[in-house]
C-alpha cells in the first residue's frame, strides 16, 4: 500500500470521461481513494516473461513518476514502461508475455477467496455434522445450492443434470459474488471486463460442445427433415449459432455490469461538474437508488448466465424421440 502525494489527474469535473473510464478499466495499480492530494493506492506486481530475459518481477510503482503519480512512456524502468493507457510496453519493441497481477486479477483472487471461504465452511459443517439442518455459512449456501440444482439444473437439463451441477454452481457463485463485490466503492470492475466474461463464455462453449451427444451434432450438421438444397443454408447458420450463443452470454454480462457502473459514476461525476449542493443531494439519492437496482441486476445477471448455460447444456444432452414436426 502506498500513500503518495501528487497532482490529482482524475478530477471528475474537468474530465468526466476520463474519471469514468479510470474506474471501469483495468490498471496496474489499485487506486482506492484520494485524500486531498494524497493518493492511496496499492501498487500491484508486474510479471513479464520474455524469451530473452526470462521471468521478471517488478512493482508497478517502479514505472511511475513519483511526484505526479502517473504512468507514462518516459518513466521506463529496466527496458519496460507503462503508457498512459495502462498498457505495458517494451522500450526495444521485442515481444513479451504479460502475466501481471493487474487490478482485475487481484479482484478475481479476492472473489475466489470469498467464495471458497463461504462454500468450504458450509461443506465443513456438513462433513462434521452429517445431513442436518444448516447452521452458519451453510444456512446461506444451502438454499442457493438447492435453487441452482433444482430450479436451474434439473429443470433445464433433465435426467442427466447431476454431472453439471458443480459447473453451474461455480458459475453462479463466481458471477454473483463478483458482481456484488464490484459494487462496493473502491472495488474493481471484475465481471465488467470483457476478458473475464469471454473466459466464462469459452468455458460454457467447451462444456456444451464436449457433452453434445449424437443427436445434438446431427441437428447442427445434418438437420433432420430439411431438403438438401436448404441444408446448404441451414448448416452454416447452425454452425454460426454454435458461436453466437456463448458470444451473447459474454456480451450480456459485460454490458449489464459495465453500464450499471457507468451510470453510477456518471451521476457522481455530475456533482463535480456542477459543484452545487442541490445537485449533490439529488445526485446522491439517484446514486443510492441506482445502486439498489444494480444489486438486483447483479443477481439477475448471474441467474440468467447460469440458466442459459443450463439450457444450452440441456439441448446438448437431450435425448428424446424426434418427431417430424420439429
Partner 1 sequence: MLTSILLSAGLALMGAGIGAGIVAIGAGLGIGRIGGQAMESIARQPEAAGKVQTAMLIIAALIEVVSLFAVVVCLLIALNAGGIAF
Q: How far apart are CA 268 and CA 236, in angstroms?
A: 47
- Tell the smallest beta-carbon distance from residue 91 to partner 1 (Å): 26
For residue 82, the SS3 value is strand
- Tell the smallest beta-carbon distance from residue 168 to partner 1 (Å): 16
C-alpha cell read off for 151:
430450479
> Mask: binding to partner 1, 1-20, rule CB under 8 A, as x and -?
----------------x---
Contact between 168 and 148 (Cβ < 8 Å) = yes
Q: How far apart are CA 19 and CA 39, in angstroms?
A: 15
85 scored as a contact of partner 1 (CB under 8 A): no
Contact between 39 and 70 (Cβ < 8 Å) = no
Closer by beta carbon to partner 1, 5 or else 300? 300
- Tell the smallest beta-carbon distance from residue 34 to partner 1 (Å): 24
Site size with partner 1, rule: CB under 8 A: 14
Chosen residue from 40, 198, 290, 304 binding partner 1 by CB under 8 A: 304
Closer by beta carbon to partner 1, 99 or else 303? 303
Q: Helices 103-129 and 137-147: crossing angle, nearest 10°?
A: 100
Q: How far apart are CA 319 and CA 213, in angstroms?
A: 8
Counting Cα atoms < 13 Å in the Cβ hemisphere of 277 gives 0
Segment 222 to 281, residues that bind partner 1, using CB under 8 A: 251-252, 255-256, 258-259, 262
Closer by beta carbon to partner 1, 59 or else 258? 258
Chosen residue from 1, 133, 296, 325 binding partner 1 by CB under 8 A: 296
Closer by beta carbon to partner 1, 102 or else 301? 301
β partners of residue 77: 80
C-alpha separations of 161 from 123, 301, 320 in Å: 21, 22, 15
- Tell the smallest beta-carbon distance from residue 250 to partner 1 (Å): 12
Binding residues (CB under 8 A) for partner 1: these are 17, 251-252, 255-256, 258-259, 262, 296-297, 300-301, 303-304
Amino acid at each position: 500500500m502506498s500513500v503518495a502525494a501528487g497532482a490529482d489527474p482524475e478530477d471528475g469535473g474537468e474530465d468526466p470521461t476520463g474519471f469514468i473510464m479510470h474506474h471501469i478499466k483495468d490498471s496496474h495499480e489499485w487506486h482506492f481513494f484520494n485524500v486531498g492530494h494524497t493518493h492511496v493506492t496499492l501498487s500491484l506486481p508486474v510479471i513479464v516473461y520474455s524469451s530473452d530475459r526470462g521471468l521478471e518481477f517488478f512493482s508497478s510503482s517502479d514505472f511511475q513518476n513519483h511526484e505526479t503519480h502517473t504512468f507514462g512512456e518516459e518513466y521506463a524502468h529496466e527496458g519496460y514502461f507503462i503508457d498512459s493507457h495502462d498498457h505495458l510496453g517494451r522500450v526495444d519493441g521485442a515481444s513479451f508475455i504479460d502475466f501481471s497481477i493487474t487490478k482485475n486479477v487481484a479482484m478475481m483472487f479476492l472473489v475466489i477467496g470469498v467464495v471458497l471461504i463461504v462454500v468450504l465452511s458450509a461443506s465443513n459443517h456438513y462433513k462434521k455434522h452429517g445431513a442436518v439442518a444448516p447452521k452458519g455459512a451453510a444456512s446461506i449456501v444451502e438454499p442457493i445450492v438447492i435453487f441452482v440444482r433444482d430450479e436451474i439444473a434439473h429443470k433445464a437439463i433433465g435426467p442427466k443434470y447431476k454431472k453439471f451441477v458443480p459447473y453451474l454452481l461455480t458459475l453462479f457463485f463466481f458471477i454473483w459474488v463478483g458482481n456484488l463485490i464490484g459494487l462496493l466503492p473502491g472495488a474493481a470492475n471484475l465481471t465488467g471486463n470483457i476478458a473475464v466474461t469471454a473466459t466464462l463464455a469459452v468455458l460454457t462453449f467447451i462444456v456444451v460442445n464436449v457433452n453434445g451427444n449424437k443427436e445434438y451434432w446431427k441437428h447442427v450438421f445434418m438437420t433432420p427433415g430439411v431438403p438438401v438444397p436448404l441444408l446448404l443454408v441451414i448448416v452454416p447458420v447452425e454452425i454460426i449459432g454454435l458461436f453466437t450463443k456463448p458470444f451473447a452470454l459474454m456480451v450480456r454480462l459485460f454490458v449489464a455490469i459495465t453500464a450499471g457502473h457507468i451510470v453510477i459514476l456518471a451521476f457522481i461525476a455530475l456533482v463535480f461538474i456542477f459543484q452545487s449542493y442541490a445537485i449533490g443531494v439529488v445526485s446522491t439519492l439517484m446514486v443510492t437508488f441506482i445502486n439498489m437496482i444494480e444489486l438486483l441486476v447483479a443477481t439477475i445477471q448471474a441467474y440468467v448466465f447460469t440458466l442459459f448455460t443450463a439450457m444450452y447444456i440441456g439441448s446438448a444432452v437431450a435425448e428424446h424421440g424426434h418427431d417430424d414436426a420439429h
